[in-house]
């Protein structure tokens, strides 16, 4: 028997039951009513018992032993031979976590990731051991609980089955195909109506012919023969007309009915993918509790709108950002109890997470009543970190200053704490949301609290797109990534830092040609005078106008993934099938527009055309050294941490010259040069290898691979590097 | 050496191939074998939608019953220049692990059972796509390793 399917099921069931345990324990910490508490203890006892039983059946011995030990503790709690206190709750929570880790490992066929015996030994000692044995008349084993299947069974309404997500996806895909073929059927109906008109025309022509013949002279014999023929023609024509009419009606009726069915089917399949947001909220109480405990803060968490439904993929994608926001709120937002009291607030902070459905969007709002964010502090931070100049920071209005927390590399905590300051910044939150077609907004009142709103599409099944034409090809842009459409007059285009820009509503907007970004054709097509449509995209700090040849349409479509083979490229998020069956690629604007890190548009222009150099080195120190040398020489610098990263950077933005280390992970310098030379568009791109490998052999290999220059680190001096770069860039010209 | 191949039926559109059989395809003047286990179906050529920014080995994507499938040109993967489609040009839909692709070949020749005992290691040189070399109708026959093919294509992305 193949147990794999059962293993998977066991893991899911264990996760569900551990969730019951966690929720129950957290409830016990607040619940007061004795009856309610007893019901909760019963529930978590049963959950643990189920885990134990299933683990035993499947031969997951360590899990069943641990579950047994936890069940004993819960049994004692249930018989009121043990008091529920924090150490017990902590021990049980730890046990639950261990069960999850163990079941993950067991299902994956790995060795247990932790020492089960040690964990069991660390659990609070059994009450029996403490009680004199004489006091126990009954055997030590806890009584068998009423045999109840996993906690879902009390829900009587609507039976459920587990369906694999890929199966749902395929169903949805097929439903989408039906919609397209429905379009084809509608086209057929139109053609039938054209046919009907043609038949009518033919009958009309026949009648004209008849009238014409009536005016001519014929012998009675001829007349009779003609009448006979005409009558036959009339009859055949009338029959054809009737048949065509009947068929057209029948077909149209059928198509109409079919259309309703297809639409219903599509909606049902879409609905099947929706899950209540409670699945994501589930982890929050525990996170808040642990974090409050670790930081010594007092926090009350309220969850609202747990029944709001969202697409499974959206839920998956917001789980981490939401957790991050909640951690942020507890860690940075809510003050210590003394501080709160000093500010005249209740010592216990209040954190609210609320989900609301609004037409095609769902808003998830995380609100705290903590210290809020001080825009002035943000301005100073941003200026200090070089994200924007001190001068432009001073001019930022408050709401735009708040937006700075989403800037890459920005962290407001003056001390990076181990809790929320671990790499996932607000920039990642914003990026995750943008990839989903959502947004994130922040509002704050210093001293009163902060509120962060995640705005999410209800479903990822259909996406609203803008269809544009570039040369002979059509492309789709997600409407969620578009901030509007403007018409750009060639005369208005100015230049800043060598980049074309326009002024739009008092903002500086970079202008990029979509054809050029895509490399589809020479940008000469719309370089003449006159007005060109452009799609505004990018963040509020960095607006970009994408020039296109024509705006075709805006519509709701099903976006299909491009598949595993094309997953490494990020420029296209999928493909869209139009009604006529042809495919159109969906652009991913965030990955289309080269990131100009550290050089926001506010920077005043100095040089007319700044050369952009790419520095690839896996050593942070070397990378930064070279970067500072080059930057002070007036070059713009993009950095990459290895060869593969460098290739990605090369593909995403125009680079004038590459300076690379040789020894790097993933793709070394020699390989990088070979790859650069292999691509036609980079054929003439100069590459300088800077390395500690001083041997003649390496120098030869580097030059053979196609590097223009080879500089050894031990002989590294700024002037010679800059000279080499100047020479190579000069040669390029 | 005589032929080590037994003919079996070529899968029609929508049918799965025999997992133990190999699909013999032609590219230029060279013949290759594709492992039947990963061949899903053979379909007629139709113009793929190009994906800007991808290497020439991926001439575009096609829609096969609602799924987007990238096309991989076997000619270019093997280092030949691209050529215009002909009447015999076919897409062979391959599934390997999580990757699905439509392999563009100049013709599909036959579906046969190859005797694996006759497989020889591929000769030195440019053989990164081959798992082995066999013979078919007095010709050398390269047995394509789908994993290596996919890795080679993805490397260029």
Q: What is the DSSP secondary structure assignment for residue A334, as one 8-state letter?
A: S
> Which residue of chain B comes nearest to A578, CA vs CA?
B63
- Among residues A135, A153, A179, the one where a domain terminates is A135
Per-chain mean pLDDT for chain A:
79
Average pLDDT over residues A478-489: 85
Q: Are residues A339 and A434 in the same domain?
A: yes
Counting the structural domains of chain A, the total is 5
CATH no. for residue A442?
3.30.565.10
Q: Which own/partner pairs from B57-64 qualify as long-range (CB within 8 Å, at least 24 positions apart)? A: B57/B153, B57/B156, B58/A565, B58/A566, B58/B153, B59/B104, B61/A562, B61/A566, B61/A575, B61/A583, B61/A585, B62/A583, B62/B91, B62/B102, B63/A560, B63/A575, B63/A577, B63/A581, B63/A583, B64/B93, B64/B102
Q: Are residues A37 and A94 in the same domain?
A: yes
Q: Which two tokens stand for residue B38?
A: 């990963």
- Per-residue pLDDT tens for A69-126? 888 888 888 888 888 888 888 888 889 989 988 888 888 878 888 888 888 888 887 6
Q: Are residues A94 and A226 in the same domain?
A: no
Q: What dihedral angle (degrees, nearest 10) is formed by the CA atoms of A532, A537, A542, A543?
A: 30
Q: Are residues A297 and A261 in the same domain?
A: no
The residue count of chain B comes to 157
Average pLDDT over residues A362-389: 85
Q: pLDDT over 90 for what percent of chain A?
A: 14
**Least-confidence region, from A205-214, A350-359, A627-636:** A627-636
Does a structural domain hold residue A655? yes
Nearest to A352 by CA among A289, A290, A300, A415: A300
User: A518 to chain B nearest CA, in Å?
Assistant: 6
Taking 70 as the threshold, does the pLDDT of residue B22 lie above it?
yes
Q: Are residues A420 and A327 in the same domain?
A: yes
**Cβ(A655)–Cβ(A639) under 8 Å?**
no
A415 band by pLDDT with thresholds 50, 70 and 90: very low
Q: Are residues A658 and A705 in the same domain?
A: yes
Q: Which residues partner with A685 through β-bridges?
A: none
- Among residues A423, A457, A491, the one where a domain terminates is A457
Which residues on chain B place their C-beta less than 8 Å from a C-beta of chain A? 49-55, 58, 61-63, 65-70, 72, 98-101, 150, 153-154, 157
Average pLDDT over residues A507-519: 85
Does a structural domain hold residue A295? yes
Nearest to A382 by CA among A360, A401, A361: A401
Does a structural domain hold residue A387? no
Average pLDDT over residues A149-168: 61
Q: Check residue A460 and give its pLDDT.
A: 64
Taking 50 as the threshold, does the pLDDT of residue A413 lie above it?
no
Q: Are residues A422 and A482 in the same domain?
A: no
Q: Are residues A621 and A678 in the same domain?
A: yes
Average pLDDT over residues A260-270: 85
Does a structural domain hold residue A158? no
- Per-residue pLDDT tens for A490-505? 788 888 877 788 888 7
Does a structural domain hold residue A150? no
Which domains are delineated in chain B? Answer: 5-155 (2.40.50.180)
- Per-residue pLDDT tens for A322-357? 888 898 888 888 999 999 999 899 999 999 999 988
User: B54 to chain A nearest CA, in Å?
Assistant: 8
Does a structural domain hold residue A147? no
- Per-residue pLDDT tens for B132-153? 888 888 888 999 999 999 988 8
Q: Are residues A476 and A537 in the same domain?
A: yes
- Among residues A592, A626, A647, the one where a domain terminates is A592
Q: Are residues A578 and A617 in the same domain?
A: no
Q: Are residues A177 and A105 in the same domain?
A: no
Does a structural domain hold residue A563? yes
Domain with A655, as residue range(s), is 612-732
| Partner-chain contact B51 A651, CB within 8 Å | no
Does a structural domain hold residue A154? no
Q: Are residues A625 and A583 in the same domain?
A: no
Out of A568, A571, A651, name the one closest to residue B154 (CB): A568
Return the percent helix, strand and coil in chain A, to nearest 5: 50, 20, 30
CB contact residues (below 8 A), chain A span 552-581, against chain B:
560-566, 568-569, 571-572, 574-575, 577, 581
């Amino acid at each position: 028997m193949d147990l794999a399917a059962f293993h998977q099921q066991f893991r899911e069931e264990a996760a569900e039951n551990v969730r019951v345990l966690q929720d129950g324990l957290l409830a016990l910490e607040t619940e007061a009513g004795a009856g309610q508490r007893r019901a909760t203890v019963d529930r978590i006892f049963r959950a643990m018992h189920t885990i134990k039983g299933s683990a035993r059946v499947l031969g997951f011995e360590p899990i069943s032993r641990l579950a047994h030990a936890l069940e004993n503790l819960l049994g004692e709690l249930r018989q009121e031979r043990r008091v529920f206190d924090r150490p017990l709750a902590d021990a049980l929570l730890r046990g639950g976590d261990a069960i999850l880790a163990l079941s993950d490992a067991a299902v994956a066929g790995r060795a247990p990731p932790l020492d089960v015996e040690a964990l069991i030994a660390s659990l609070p000692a059994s009450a029996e051991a403490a009680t004199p044995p004489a006091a126990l008349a009954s055997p030590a084993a806890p009584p068998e609980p009423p045999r109840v299947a996993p906690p879902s069974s009390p829900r009587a309404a609507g039976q459920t089955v587990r369906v694999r997500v890929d199966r749902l996806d395929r169903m949805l895909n097929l439903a989408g195909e039906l919609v397209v073929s429905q379009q084809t059927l509608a086209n057929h109906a139109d053609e039938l109506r054209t046919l009907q008109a043609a038949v009518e025309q033919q009958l009309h022509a026949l009648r004209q012919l008849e009238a014409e013949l009536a005016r001519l002279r014929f012998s009675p014999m001829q007349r009779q023969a003609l009448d006979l023929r005409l009558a036959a023609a009339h009859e055949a024509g009338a029959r054809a007309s009737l048949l065509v009419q009947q068929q057209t009606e029948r077909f149209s009726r059928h198509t109409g009915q079919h259309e309703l069915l297809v639409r219903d089917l599509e909606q049902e399949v879409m609905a099947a993918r929706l899950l209540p947001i409670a699945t994501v909220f589930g982890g929050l109480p525990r996170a808040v509790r642990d974090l409050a405990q670790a930081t010594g803060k007092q926090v009350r968490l309220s969850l609202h709108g747990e029944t709001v439904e969202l697409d499974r993929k959206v839920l998956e994608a917001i789980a981490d950002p939401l957790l991050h926001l909640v951690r942020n709120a507890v860690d940075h937002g809510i003050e210590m109890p003394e501080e709160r009291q000093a500010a005249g607030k209740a010592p216990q902070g209040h954190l609210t997470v609320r989900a609301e459905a609004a037409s095609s969007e769902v808003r998830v709002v995380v609100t705290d009543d903590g210290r809020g964010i001080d825009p002035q502090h943000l301005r100073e931070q941003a200026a200090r970190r070089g994200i924007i100049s001190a001068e432009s920071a001073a001019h930022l209005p408050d709401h735009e200053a708040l937006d700075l927390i989403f800037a890459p590399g920005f962290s407001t905590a003056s001390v990076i704490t181990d809790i929320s300051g671990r790499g996932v910044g607000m920039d990642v939150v914003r990026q995750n949301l943008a990839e989903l077609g959502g947004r994130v907004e922040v509002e704050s009142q210093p001293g009163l609290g902060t509120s962060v709103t995640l705005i999410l599409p209800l479903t990822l099944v259909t996406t609203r797109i803008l269809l544009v034409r570039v040369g002979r090809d059509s492309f789709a842009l997600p409407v969620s990534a578009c901030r509007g459409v403007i018409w750009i007059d060639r005369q208005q285009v100015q230049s800043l830092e060598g980049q074309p820009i326009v002024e739009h509503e008092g903002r500086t907007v970079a202008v990029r040609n979509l054809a050029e970004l895509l490399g589809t054709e020479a940008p000469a097509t719309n370089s003449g005078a006159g007005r060109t449509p452009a799609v505004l995209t990018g963040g509020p700090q960095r607006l970009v106008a994408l020039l296109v040849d024509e705006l075709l349409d805006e519509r709701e479509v099903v976006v299909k993934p491009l598949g595993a083979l094309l997953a490494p490229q990020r420029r296209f998020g999928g493909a869209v099938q139009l009604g006529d069956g042809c495919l159109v690629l969906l652009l991913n604007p965030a990955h289309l527009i080269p990131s100009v890190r550290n050089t926001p548009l506010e920077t005043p222009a100095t040089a007319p055309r700044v050369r952009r150099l790419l520095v690839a080195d896996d050593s942070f120190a070397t990378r930064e050294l070279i970067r500072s040398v080059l930057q002070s020489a007036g070059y713009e610098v993009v950095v990459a941490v290895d060869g593969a990263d460098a290739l990605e950077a090369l593909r995403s933005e125009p680079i004038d010259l590459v300076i690379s280390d040789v020894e790097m992970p993933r793709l070394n310098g020699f390989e990088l040069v070979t790859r650069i030379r292999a691509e036609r568009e980079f054929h003439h791109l100069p590459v300088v290898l800077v390395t500690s490998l001083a041997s003649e052999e390496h120098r030869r290999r580097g030059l053979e691979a196609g590097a223009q220059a080879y500089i050894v680190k031990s002989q590294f001096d700024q002037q010679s590097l800059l000279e080499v770069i100047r020479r190579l860039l000069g040669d390029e010209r | 050496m005589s032929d080590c191949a037994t003919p079996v039926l070529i899968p029609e559109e929508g049918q799965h191939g025999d997992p133990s059989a190999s699909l013999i395809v032609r590219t230029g003047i060279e013949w290759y074998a594709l492992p039947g286990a990963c061949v899903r179906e053979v379909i007629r050529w139709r113009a793929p939608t190009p994906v800007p920014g991808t290497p020439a080995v991926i001439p575009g994507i096609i829609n096969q019953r609602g799924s987007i499938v990238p096309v991989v040109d076997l000619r270019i993967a093997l280092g030949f220049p691209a050529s215009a489609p002909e009447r015999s040009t076919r897409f062979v839909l391959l599934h390997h692990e999580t990757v699905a692709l439509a392999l563009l070949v100049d013709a599909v020749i036959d579906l046969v059972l190859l005797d694996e005992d006759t497989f020889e290691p591929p000769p030195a040189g440019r053989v990164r796509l081959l798992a082995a070399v066999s013979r078919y109708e007095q010709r050398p026959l390269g047995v394509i390793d789908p994993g290596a093919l996919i890795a080679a294509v993805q490397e260029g992305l």
